Amino acid sequence: MILCPFTRTPLDIQFPLPMIIREPRGPLLLQDSHLIDLLSHFSRERIPERVVHAKGSGAHGYFEVTRDISNITMAAPFSEGVGTQVPLTMRFSTVAGESGTPDTNRDPRGFAIKMRTSNGIWDWGAYSSAFGNASLTSINTVFNNTPVFFLRDPTKFPLFIHSQKRDPHTNLRSPDIQWDYWSQNQEAVYQVMILFSNRGTPASWAQMHGWSGHTYKWVTADGSWHYVKIKIITQQGINNLSADEAKTLAVENPDHNTQDLQQTMTPQQGQAYKYDVNDLTKIWPEDEYPLLEVGKIVLNKNPENWFAEIEQAAFSPANMPPGVEPSNDPVLQARLFAYSDSARHRLGANHLELPINCPLGVHNFQRTGWMRIDGGAGTLPPSAANYPSSFAAPVSFVKRPYNLSAIADLPDPIGSPAMILSSSQLARMDFEQPADLYNKACTEFTQVEKDSLVANLITALNTVTVAAVKQRSLDMFACVDTTLGGKIGAGIGLKASSPLSCGL
């Protein structure tokens, strides 16, 4: 097949390289519409990168239901029976770096899953720690490879990300700013400990688990509901890099990294639970709330066009089918808006028309806008500009079979005003689960991980130049465990303060 170059105008271009000039060695002429078209498109061919999770790759595959959980949710595909398969797209990424950042940087790994169900798009996002053919444990909308996160107040998120990004004064990442944030927001200590173990440098996308982090509500057709978290478990084994291996690969191969289960908790259990069930900095111990396998993820197809299928993919935790509802987790509530708004900025108001984001026909009353590609009014006639309309067939709305007010969280037994200003406060219990991580034997945090944690923290804290930040950071780890604090202190030439406040 012979490809003929052409411009967006009717102008015939016999060869793409010549330009129109007045005479030999003369000036260019503005009438050269081919050159104008070429240059004007070139200056606009880059779209904004994601403000976080900019460096990433992805694949296609399917999700298969492996257990009947109709007693937990009416959501498709679970409502369609064991063996039901739905196509999906997964995108994996680091968090803080730019699109050219090495894959092996110490950073949480995030991933998002776009399932194309019979009821429309269901986006899962998560925090990851290894994956492969997966089996479902807890469902969420923007996953990471760790079960917790650095914060539980959404107002802190921009501040936290600023601390991890480049300092605009120097255009360099600043250990002083990073550790200043962590040491002044010590609810982050659990996540920081995981990040500075070897789990902060997984060897590949396929060798880490994933967690939804957030709590969701899964609802049945009769309106009963459970709190749910999701975990995706790799079938390919956990494999992490040491700090030295990660640094070597960052130089030699910066693009090195181009089973799901579910936990449930009744509303009554959630109310009686020691920790706030909506606290993103806490886990649900699996010995108290065992995992229940509900499905598996298989990735079996690489994208044919990375830009069209991965870079232009837009994920949002707000995309939920009937049978799945958000909890009162304030970080999740903020993300319901923020993810879609970020996509509107990055891809335009009509980003849901892009094929990767729109597997089903949509009938709505939105009109025109940047990058509209379906005629300006979707599947409705252009004259149907309002609702109800005399120019379109009657619209049939699908209602949830349950009442949203019936699945509200149980009331606070103490009672509270209808509207309050709220921000979380550090408490001694914020150090309990990090202490368990360090002291209790577990398969995912071995002695090797503990030794690597200490060594990596010493290396990181020795780059901090502000004495108060370094001391406060040491005290944070001493609050987790005095032995841990002593080992770190010996490596950075400091002793923990006495007495320690530890949130009291």
Q: Grade residue 164 by pLDDT with cuts at 50, 70 and 90.
A: very high
Residue 145, domain member (yes or no) = yes
Neighbours of 119 (CB within 10 A): 19
Look at residues 483, 481, 482, 455 and name the one whose alpha carbon lies nearest to residue 198. Answer: 455
Neighbours of 114 (CB within 10 A): 24
Domain end marker among 293, 310, 341: 341
Is the distance from CB of 88 to CB of 126 less than 8 angstroms?
no
339 annotated as ligand-binding? yes
Which tens digits make up the pLDDT trace of 291-333? 889 999 999 998 999 888 998 999 988 888 888 888 888 888 8
For the cut 80, the answer to whether the pLDDT of residue 379 exceeds it is: no
For the cut 60, the answer to whether the pLDDT of residue 22 exceeds it is: yes
Q: What is the DSSP string of 423-479?
A: -----GGGGHHHHHHHHS--TTS-HHHHHHHHHHHHHHHTT---HHHHHHHHHHHHH
For the cut 80, the answer to whether the pLDDT of residue 334 exceeds it is: yes
Angle 323-327-333 from CA coordinates, rounded to 5°: 115
Within this chain, do residues 122 and 223 fall inside the same structural domain, yes or no?
yes
pLDDT at 414: 45
Look at residues 402, 77, 342 and name the one whose alpha carbon lies nearest to residue 217. Answer: 402
Total domain count for the chain? 2
Within this chain, do residues 16 and 147 fall inside the same structural domain, yes or no?
no
Task: Name the E strands within 42-161.
Answer: 56-65, 85-94, 109-117, 120-129, 134-136, 143-144
Quote the mean pLDDT of the chain: 82
pLDDT at 128: 36
Structure-token pair, residue 339: 């993810």
For the cut 70, the answer to whether the pLDDT of residue 384 exceeds it is: no
Cα dihedral value 491, 492, 493, 495, nearest 10: -90
Residue 138, domain member (yes or no) = yes
CA distances from 196 to 6, 190, 202, 337 (A): 53, 10, 11, 31
Residue 333, domain member (yes or no) = yes
Identify the weakest region by mean pLDDT among 9-13, 395-399, 452-456, 497-501. Answer: 9-13
CA distance 205 to 302: 14
pTM of the predicted structure, to 2 decimals? 0.80
Cα dihedral value 53, 54, 59, 64, nearest 10: 20
pLDDT at 244: 84
Is the distance from CB of 292 to CB of 255 less than 8 angstroms?
no
b/e burial code for range 41-55 (CB count within 10 A of at least 16 → b): eeeeeeeeebebbbb
CA distance 115 to 319: 10
The one-letter code for the residue type at 75 is: A
Is the distance from CB of 7 to CB of 37 less than 8 angstroms?
yes
The one-letter code for the residue type at 287 is: D
| Choice between 461 and 41, residue whose per-residue pLDDT is larger | 461
Catalytic residues: 53, 144
Structure-token pair, residue 447: 């002695």
Domain end marker among 341, 367, 383: 341
Residue 418, domain member (yes or no) = no
CATH number at residue 143: 2.40.180.10
Within this chain, do residues 37 and 120 fall inside the same structural domain, yes or no?
no
pLDDT at 142: 63
| Choice between 184 and 41, residue whose per-residue pLDDT is larger | 184
CA distance 106 to 197: 9
Within this chain, do residues 20 and 145 fall inside the same structural domain, yes or no?
no
Within this chain, do residues 131 and 259 fall inside the same structural domain, yes or no?
yes
The DSSP call for residue 270 is H
Angle 209-119-386 from CA coordinates, rounded to 5°: 130
The one-letter code for the residue type at 429 is: M
Binning the chain into helix, strand and coil, the percentages to the nearest 5 are: 30, 15, 55
The one-letter code for the residue type at 480 is: V
Within this chain, do residues 23 and 145 fall inside the same structural domain, yes or no?
no
Q: Name the pairing type of β-strands 260-265 and 324-326.
A: unpaired
For the cut 60, the answer to whether the pLDDT of residue 29 exceeds it is: yes
Which tens digits make up the pLDDT trace of 209-254? 889 889 999 999 889 999 999 988 888 888 888 888 888 877 677 7
Within this chain, do residues 39 and 141 fall inside the same structural domain, yes or no?
no
Expressed as residue numbers, the domain containing 8 is: 1-45
CA distance 63 to 41: 39
Residue 218, domain member (yes or no) = yes
pLDDT at 79: 92
3-state secondary structure 199-229: HHCECCCCCCEEECCCCEEEECCCCCEEEEE
Within this chain, do residues 237 and 320 fall inside the same structural domain, yes or no?
yes
Within this chain, do residues 10 and 64 fall inside the same structural domain, yes or no?
no
Q: At what angle do helices 447-461 and 482-492 cross, to 10 degrees?
A: 40
Is the distance from CB of 76 to CB of 41 less than 8 angstroms?
no
Within this chain, do residues 265 and 333 fall inside the same structural domain, yes or no?
yes
Residue 95, domain member (yes or no) = yes
Residue 31, domain member (yes or no) = yes
Which tens digits make up the pLDDT trace of 75-114? 999 999 999 999 999 999 989 989 888 888 899 998 889 9
Residue 69 three-state SS:
coil
For the cut 90, the answer to whether the pLDDT of residue 486 exceeds it is: yes
pLDDT at 383: 54
Within this chain, do residues 39 and 91 fall inside the same structural domain, yes or no?
no
pLDDT at 404: 73
Residue 299, domain member (yes or no) = yes
The DSSP call for residue 286 is T
Cα dihedral value 419, 425, 428, 433, nearest 10: 80
Residue with the two structure tokens 């990090």? 434
Within this chain, do residues 5 and 135 fall inside the same structural domain, yes or no?
no
**What is the total residue count of the chain?**
504
Structure-token pair, residue 285: 């111990």
CA distance 385 to 218: 35
Helices then strands (H, E): number in the chain? 12, 15
Domain end marker among 294, 317, 341: 341
